[in-house]
């Protein structure tokens, strides 16, 4: 089955530690995205990538970093500089970032708790 996988489902970290969230897709999509979801705030875009080795900041990129070394993989690192990292993180992909008519496909999400 084609789709997007995110691991782990739940992640717990101590404050001050960096943590990397995994996102893999086998849909052969060019574009990939990371969103953060907080209760009552909808989804906010952290980073997005149009092609391998290229990525752009979204609306709330501070305290996060990404890489795109392979088409199918787009890991997100939550650094210790992120002031409020506890949230639900969603990865998504779409065929092409240039055309707005294409829908995005979402992974199951990773719930990160930092204490």
Partner 1 sequence: AQSVTQLGSHVSVSEGALVLLRCNYSSSVPPYLFWYVQYPNQGLQLLLKYTTGATLVKGINGFEAEFKKSETSFHLTKPSAHMSDAAEYFCAVSPNTGGGNKLTFGTGTQLKVEL
Q: 26, 25, 21: which is closest to 10 by C-alpha?
A: 21
In b/e form, how buried is each residue of 28-46, taking b as 16+ CB within 10 angstroms? Answer: ebbbbbbbbeeeeeeeebb
Query: Residue 82 or 94: which CB sits closer to partner 1?
Result: 94
Contact positions with partner 1 (CB under 8 A) in 1-60: 4, 6, 31, 33, 40-45, 48, 58
Query: Residue 17 or 96: which CB sits closer to partner 1?
Result: 96
Residues found near partner 1 in the complex (CB under 8 A) = 4, 6, 31, 33, 40-45, 48, 58, 88, 90, 92, 94, 96-109, 111
């Amino acid at each position: 089955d084609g789709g997007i996988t995110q691991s782990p489902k739940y992640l717990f970290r101590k404050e001050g530690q960096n943590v990397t969230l995994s996102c893999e897709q086998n849909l052969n999509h060019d574009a990939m995205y990371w969103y953060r979801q907080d209760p009552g705030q909808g989804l906010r875009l952290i980073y997005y990538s149009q092609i391998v080795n290229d990525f752009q900041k979204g609306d709330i990129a501070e305290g996060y970093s990404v890489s795109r070394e392979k088409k199918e993989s787009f890991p997100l690192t939550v650094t210790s500089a992120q002031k409020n990292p506890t949230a639900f993180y969603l990865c998504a992909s779409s065929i092409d970032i240039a055309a707005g008519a294409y829908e995005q496909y979402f992974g199951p999400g990773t719930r990160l708790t930092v204490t």
